[in-house]
Amino acid sequence: MLLYEVVARYVFDAPTVWAMEVSTFVFVPHFMLAGPYLLHLRGHVAVDTLSEAARGVARKVLEVFSFLVIAVFAGVFAKVSWPLAVNAYALGETSFSAWNPPIWWMKFIVPFAFVMLLAQALVEAVEAVRKPSDAEAGL
């Protein structure tokens, strides 16, 4: 889409009114839903100086604590973003651009993504409790 926009604008001197917004419509769900997936893959950047030094039960406690902090964070953001999405729907919110498409539907992606992050953090916390600690695994 953006390549089309660049070619249309600079080669044919015919810019579009929709390309930038459509690219945002495509990018936002991918960006928001990548959070829970990356948590599952352990792909987030982490400052794990303390947890790397810990062993056994202490390491497990730190890991579970970190997942619970993520769950609380996600729960708060889901709770705060839900009324904003409902309000955008009630108002029939649009982008106010020249194209002016409805954007209320995109606002529901935010609480949904945070609910998914909350669920993934809880699953990861349960998995951290269930997996054997370093001492139990013989490491």
pLDDT (tens digit per residue) in 54-74? 777 888 888 899 999 999 999
Question: In this prediction, what percent of the chain has a pLDDT beyond 70?
Answer: 93
For residue 66, give every residue at least 6 positions away whose Cβ sits within 8 Å of its Cβ, in sequence order, or none.
51
- Tokens 């998995």, residue located: 127
Structure confidence at residue 134 (pLDDT): 58
Mean pLDDT of all residues in 11-16:
88
Structure confidence at residue 133 (pLDDT): 65
Question: Residue 126 sits in which domain range?
Answer: 2-137
Residue 9's pLDDT band (cuts 50, 70, 90): confident
Q: Could you read off the pLDDT of 47-56 as tens digits, one per residue?
A: 677 777 777 7
Domain count, the chain: 1
**CA–CA separation, 70 vs 22, rounded Å?**
31
